[in-house]
A and B are shown apart, each in its own frame.
Chain A
Amino acid sequence: MPTRLKEVDIVIVGLGWTGGILAKELSEAGMRVVALERGGMRATNPDFAIPLIRDELKYAVRNALMQNPARDTLTFRHSQAERALPMRQLGSFLPGEGLGGAGVHWNGVTWRWTGIDHALRSHYEHRYGKAFIPSDMPVQDWPMTYAELEPYYDRFERTAGVSGKAGNLRGAKQDGGNFFEQPRDREYPLPALENSYSQMLFRDAALQAGYHPFPRPCANASRAYTNPDGSRLGACVYCGHCERFGCEANAKGSPHITVIPKAMAQPTFELRTHSWVTKVLLDSTKKKAIGVAYTDVSTGEEYEQPAAIVALCAYAINNVHLMLLSGIGTAYDPVTQKGIVGRNYCYQPGGGGVTLFFEDKIFNPFMATGAFGMALDDFHASEEFDRSQMGAIGGATIAVGNSNGRPIGYRPVPAGTPRWGAAWKKATAKWYLRAMNIGVTASNMPNRYNAYDLDPAYKNVFGQPLLRLTYNFLENDRKVVGYIGQKAAEIARSMKPTSMTNPGTLGDYNIVPYQSTHNTGGAIMGASPKDSAVNRYLQSWDVPNVFVVGASAFPHNSAYNPTGPVGALAYWTADAITKRFRNRPGLLT
């Protein structure tokens, strides 16, 4: 029998960015908070100390900071007709595990999403007509406007120490920032980072072509910084070991150095590591959660933690898995299109980028930060960009990011070079310092068949069904990547490289090579329980004392990284809990 513990006000499942923000805000408001993290404790010192943290094999190849698929993974197939098979090793995406979650090993790119993103269906229907949206593409508006979320975007940027340059201050366009961004109330907390040589060349070429390049906003601190909570960040040293690593300089905005220590200072907060939540426990009506069941994976002992509120703050994929395992809401069936939980899974198509080789230039790719970059939003945030030309919904950002030059993973050679042998070696030696990449990151629109459910055959270590992912890239994605990839190639050609690769085309989705850890949807937010799993406060329509926080709430994926709105929505939800739900529990309207 599981040990039944004393009831608390809120139990938080997963202690990364979203769990950390809720833990801090709610414990500071005097609520009794227990956070259950399935991984272990982590601290910058000693866990991320040099030289050991600079181990590409351990961290970037063997994924030391990530979830362990031996215990739990998902199964994957392209379509209903295929049999899903387990993702036996991590590849395409890298969910984190342990204190701080993926907020420890992320690169730090921190966007506010576009005006179009916040009102997606309305925008396309108004601008292009209802018929422009395919009938199998269930796009919908966010349930809150950009203006409503603006103060929360701001809070997250201040917390994480985001470096950048505003392009629009309260409606006034600013030189050097993102011309197409929505109005922000004030500047970024930190100035933009220094640019690499490749970024400067790209900026000049993009300006020449009439585009609007700007420094990509990133949670890599351009100088030492103390955030509004008093958490101190160091200055980034451009070491080129961000993504998949922890930052030894505390220069990457991460929950383990910001919100989590603040929560831990509160007497009403308790953290339990190695605590794997297997289920949210519901009462007999199935309309109310009474707590969670979890296993201490260091002892095997089982517990029940009663709580007045349950907040699912695990990685986006795991939030959906827990809802389906617990029977929160109705599971989505893509054949009948009935049910909600599991629908609108989206990802991040890439592949349209080009690599440029210059006989006479040196780029030193290892001098880098995870997130710094020179980007342009002319084919994404811009409402003037006419999507009927492209024949597709969405867009893509074009950027020179060069996040690292770690040599197991980064070894650019011109097209046609063999993968091994003398010619490969010669080309690798010649071009490692002399290549740069222009990346194309595309949005991803939902499709009725791209969805999660529970796998009928495969189980995790607790004997529970694995999550099953049915997903592929579709025609809309191929058009976006193809069209905007050509725009990137035009800029590249104008830079007159010695040679360059052709822009890639988007084939079938492949779960093997790393692409991005931008898995979204499955427990989407919306204005009505008819088309969403959670309401605008990320509160389950079906079980209102369950909040599901994270990118699982996104109804589609932008051509941006997800963490900016993930952080903003966590603050927004924390406010809804402390200021409203706490006093009057029930469905918030």
Chain B
Amino acid sequence: MAHYSRRDFLKTVGTVGATGIAAAVGGDAAEAQSRPAAVPAPQPVSHAYTFLTAPEAAFIEAAVDRFIPADELTPGGTDCGVATFIDRQLAGAWGSGDRMYMQGPWQKGAPTQGYQSPMTPAEFFRAGIAATNAYCRKTLQKEFDRLTADQQVKVLQDMEQGRAALDGVPAQEFFNLLLATTMQGFFADPVYGGNRDKVAWKMIGFPGVIAIYSEHIKTYRNKKYDVEPKSILDLS
């Protein structure tokens, strides 16, 4: 199956600010014909990252496109701004371990005791990406973003279900953090860089932040509330 990673794509077009990456990674022509057309990205997506290195960005873009594949509902995760969201979160206070108890001694705990890594979330992401790429090189001779979409799905499923062991990083824990952060980016207010054009809110019918339903609580029982969602970004 033909497959183009972000890295290949950049080599070809030699630019950032590209559109239509979802289409480029979507698969071969026959497969594309059998699928509904992807919703086009609303406007050019910024691929300027401040935390992620180029190989890390390629990994994250590929992963979020597998988690949130382009289809008739929304563009792929990258075109929805999810990779941008993750980059900003990792570069910011949360990635730096803000509001986390970071004192030792450090000891591996039971899953019910929660996060016990001495790494900040940003460091943990970085280590997780490197370890997943090492795992992919070892088992499939390529880094994650160079694998076919089907191979990427298989790697992610193996991590999710505890079948893939990563060197130095707990695979399931990294997978869960990656997935949780992806979902935050997809569904958070667009002011954070993800959920571009409120695609995720439109997909499910969440009307956003104005939320004055004093009368609607009575008049919209068992009735769809169809409005253009409003975000903090819209109102600021």
Contacts and interface: CB of A to CB of B under 8 A. Distances in A.
Given A87-B101, A89-B100, A511 B204 contact: no
B68 A407 contact: no
Nearest to B67: A420
B1 interface: no
A425 interface: yes
Interface stretch (A60-68, A98-106, A437-445, A497-505): A60-68
B2 interface: no
Contacts of A131: none
Contacts of B115: 88-89, 512
Contacts of B105: 457-458
Interface string A390-433: 00000000000000011110010000000111100110110011
Q: Give the most central of B115, B179, B230, B235: most A CB within 10 Å.
A: B115
B236 interface: yes
A511 B109 CA distance: 12
Interface residues of A, number: 66
Contacts of A50: 209-210, 235
Contacts of A82: 110
Interface stretch (B6-14, B49-57, B137-145, B181-189): B181-189
Contacts of B192: 57
Interface stretch (A71-79, A120-128, A258-266, A344-352): A71-79
Interface string A492-525: 0000000000000000111110000000000000
A425 B71 contact: yes
B232 A55 contact: yes
B90 to A, nearest CB: 14
Interface stretch (A109-117, A359-367, A543-551): A359-367
B66 interface: yes
A238 B188 contact: no
A230 interface: no
A421 B153 contact: yes
A70 B216 CA distance: 42
Interface in B196-210: 200-201, 203-210
Contact of B206 (A197, A236, A366, A509): A366
A419 B188 CA distance: 18
Interface stretch (B128-136, B163-171, B218-226): B218-226
Nearest to A508: B112
A238 to B, nearest CB: 4
B213 A425 contact: no
B235 to A, nearest CB: 4
A235 interface: yes
A54 B221 contact: no
Contacts of B203: 425, 428-429
Contacts of A30: none
A51 interface: yes
B217 A367 contact: yes
B229 to A, nearest CB: 10
B103 A459 contact: yes
A511 B114 contact: yes
Interface in B61-75: 66-69, 71, 73-74
Task: In the A-B complex, list the 7 residue pairs whose CB atoms are closest, starting with the nearest.
Answer: A54-B209, A432-B204, A239-B211, A197-B221, A238-B213, A57-B188, A367-B213
Given A363-B222, A364-B225, 8 more contacts: A51-B235, A77-B113, A89-B99, A239-B212, A240-B211, A364-B223, A366-B207, A509-B112
21 contacts: A54-B209, A54-B210, A54-B232, A62-B94, A70-B101, A87-B114, A88-B102, A89-B101, A194-B218, A237-B212, A364-B224, A366-B206, A408-B183, A421-B69, A421-B153, A425-B69, A425-B74, A425-B203, A433-B204, A457-B105, A512-B112
Interface of A: 50-52, 54-57, 61-63, 68-70, 73, 76-78, 82-83, 85-91, 194, 196-197, 200, 235-241, 361-364, 366-367, 405-408, 411, 419-422, 425-426, 428-429, 432-433, 457-459, 508-512
